[in-house]
Chain A
Amino acid sequence: MDERRFGAEVTEIPDEVRMRLSGDLNARADETLAAAYERVVALGPRRVSLDFGHVGYINSTGIALVVRLLAEARRDGRAVRAVGLTEHYREIFRITRLSDFMEIVEGDAA
């Protein structure tokens, strides 16, 4: 398979921290995503935005990683929103009902 290496770039912007995700979100993304969230925790924002605009593949294990991150953020009292989702990934967030727990921002990341 034409797999693309997962990346997570953490940027502090006014009022929130943005996590720009790229590549394939699957089991191999686990450590990178966890490390990125640790950096978010260190920055201590009230809100974190997950930017999926450069994610090209998500499997069920990848969605489970998002759920784990979401659970940790909720535990920490941090709001989470998703930006840059294609229609296909918005569908996946709807069927897994993740959209019940995070704000889905239409369009590209600001």
Chain B
Amino acid sequence: MTITDKIPPPAPAAHTTRDGAHWAKPVDRLSAQVVGAGVDSVTGKRVANPLQGFGQMWQKTFRVPLEGSTMSPQEVIVIWKERFATFWPKAGRFYAPLAGIVPGEVALLDISPMPGSPVTLSTGVMVIYADDESFTFISPQGHMFSGWITFSAYRDGDMTVAQVQALERTSDPFDELGLMFGGRRMMETFWRETLGNVARAMGTMEPAVVSEAVCVDKRRQWRQATNVRNSATLRSMRHMLTAPARWITGRS
């Protein structure tokens, strides 16, 4: 045996865990614990990253300078996490996890998949990352987008800026069609309104939201078209169409 065999292995360098507390732990299947949501279509699903979707991959960025606000990025993120649901436009409902927006927690949400749609899409998100300047949601299988969205705040000169940045693909061909027929504009309006609400809550009287969209990959991944079997859009549509039958038979 050599001397070196008796020397314990070096402890992992401190820098390897600087981000450790900010990331969720790996889970095979998601599990939601929220109050008030009607339908939990997320529990049992896996997460879906932007590479697992069907449509073109886009990076969409929305940002608003918090003019007139004295809040630091950290203060903005504290309030954003605490009151996340209240900043959403009326077109959607966000059911926050019982434990709040912390890594590993799952939230449920109801949104309209396209303008004027009689169908409400029930889906959710998992908090995959959270630190004191940002937090990120990843979508589950069946969500209309495969990808993640990061909410952050940072300093630009002497002003704090709030930002929403998504990296995503539509999950299946139906979702891609929905995006082409009004969904894209609806999502743009949704996040502009959200950021406007955040800015007003931080003390900005007239929020000026700017947006930018970059197509990262213009190809559609036809091998992922089978994602349609998990589609929350189709499941929600089926749930709505069969509602009269359930009402007649007295089943929920």
Q: Which residues of A contact B (CB under 8 A)?
A: 2, 4, 27, 56-61, 63-64, 67-68, 70-72, 74-75, 86, 88, 91-92, 94-98, 100-101
Contacts and interface: CB of A to CB of B under 8 A. Distances in A.
Contacts of B24: 95
A63 B129 CA distance: 11
B51 A100 contact: yes
- Among A2, A64, A101, the one with the most B-chain Cβ atoms within 10 Å of its Cβ is A64
B77 to A, nearest CB: 13
- Give the 6 A-B CB pairs with smallest separation, nearest first: A56-B15, A60-B136, A60-B129, A95-B26, A71-B217, A94-B26
Contacts of B18: 2, 56-57
26 contacts: A2-B18, A56-B15, A57-B15, A57-B18, A57-B19, A59-B19, A60-B128, A60-B134, A60-B148, A64-B150, A64-B165, A67-B50, A68-B59, A71-B216, A72-B216, A75-B217, A86-B12, A91-B25, A95-B25, A95-B27, A96-B47, A97-B46, A97-B47, A97-B49, A97-B51, A100-B51
A64 B18 CA distance: 18
Interface of B: 12-13, 15-20, 22-27, 46-52, 57, 59, 128-129, 131, 134, 136, 138, 148, 150, 152, 154, 165, 167, 216-217, 219
Given A60-B134, A60-B150, A96-B128, A68 B51 contact: no
Contacts of A92: 23
B51 A71 contact: yes
B16 A88 contact: yes
Nearest to A96: B49
B49 A56 contact: no
Given A72-B217, A86-B12, A91 B26 contact: yes
Contacts of B150: 60-61, 64
A68 B217 CA distance: 9
Nearest to B19: A57
B133 to A, nearest CB: 9
A88 B20 contact: yes
A67 B15 contact: no
Contact of A59 (B48, B50, B129): B129
Given A97-B52, A98-B51, 14 more contacts: A60-B129, A60-B134, A61-B165, A63-B129, A64-B59, A64-B148, A67-B50, A68-B167, A68-B216, A70-B51, A71-B216, A88-B16, A91-B23, A95-B47
A59 B22 contact: yes
Contacts of A96: 47, 49, 128, 138, 148
Given A56-B13, A61-B150, A86-B12, A67 B136 contact: no
Contacts of A59: 19, 22, 129, 131, 134
A91 B25 CA distance: 7
A85 to B, nearest CB: 10
A35 B20 CA distance: 28
Nearest to B51: A101
Nearest to A91: B26
A64 to B, nearest CB: 5
Contacts of B16: 56, 86, 88
Contacts of A57: 15, 18-19
Contacts of A74: 51, 217
Nearest to B132: A1
Nearest to B135: A60
